[in-house]
Amino acid sequence: MIDGENNRVAELHAVRPPTSATNRHGNAFTQSRRTLARESEAQRLAERQLGRVWGIVNPSVQNRLGYDVRFSLFPQGNPVLLAADDSSIAGRATHATRHLWVTAFDPAETYPAGDFVNRTSAGSGVPRYRSGDRSLDNTDLVVWRTFGLTHFPRTEDWPIMPVGRTGFTLKPIGFFDRNPTLDVSAIIARLEASQRSEDAACSTSKSGACGCHGS
């Protein structure tokens, strides 16, 4: 949940508008935004050339500029499952054919490949969860992110394969009205003033021991 239980997911990517009266030099770019409103729309691929990201948004909370607060998911955009669509592994691991799935929350829907991966039937897990095409607008959501490495063996991998890295980034956007580090000096000043106040209270204590500091 992002600042509350009711969220939605928006897909954002870069757009290059054509040269025109409003883009006379042809050097402008902007960002498109599309809400993934239903489960049938929320099975997505990363597009690295477009800088595609997904924002998990709380439409009920805005910052001082009027924008919804969100966490943006930045994918690496590695290849999805490379097995043939009609292969057994693709049937059992259909979740790995997309970089992102979004479903409505259901406590019984826990595993992207189904409850028992090696005994499951084709289409189990996330593909079956989203078959009801539930609404994803302003509700409790589950975001399923698929990522991994495609490994083409090389002679340098023997006898010990080096580390391969994969993952994604979740970045908070809009939760602060400005960069929070701009207030560091003010926070330190308040802490120092509080400490001076405590020290003064200790020095005026009649018993000489006020318990403000550990012995």
pLDDT in tens, 63-92: 888 888 899 999 988 899 999 999 988 988
pLDDT digits (tens, 9 = 90+) for 122-175: 889 999 999 999 999 999 999 999 998 888 889 999 998 888 888 999 999 988
**pLDDT for position 209:** 53
**pLDDT for position 77:** 81
Of 15, 2, 51, 8, the C-alpha closest to 137 is 8
Which of 27-31, 135-139, 156-160, 206-210 comes out lowest in average pLDDT?
Answer: 206-210
* CA-based R_g, the chain, Å: 25
Sign of the torsion formed by the C-alpha atoms of 53, 5, 179 and 192:
negative
Of 113, 208, 98, the C-alpha closest to 147 is 98
For the residues 196-200, what does the mean pLDDT come to?
73
One domain, residues 25 and 124? yes
Does pLDDT of 11 surpass 90?
yes
In a domain, 121, yes or no: yes
- Range of 212's domain? 182-215
For the residues 199-215, what does the mean pLDDT come to?
58
* Element (DSSP H or E) covering residue 200: helix 184-203
Confidence of residue 97 (pLDDT cuts 50, 70, 90): very high
**pLDDT for position 215:** 43
One domain, residues 68 and 167? yes
Which of 51-60, 65-74, 148-157, 180-189 comes out lowest in average pLDDT?
Answer: 180-189
One domain, residues 100 and 194? no
Tell me the percentage of the chain whose pLDDT exceeds 90. Answer: 54
For residue 37, count other CB atoms closer than 10 A to its CB.
Answer: 15
One domain, residues 152 and 211? no
Number of domains in the chain: 2
For the residues 193-198, what does the mean pLDDT come to?
78
Q: Which residue has the higher pLDDT, 212 or 106?
A: 106
One domain, residues 98 and 192? no
Q: What is the pTM of this model?
A: 0.79
**pLDDT for position 213:** 52
In a domain, 100, yes or no: yes
* Residue 185: both structure tokens together: 């000096």
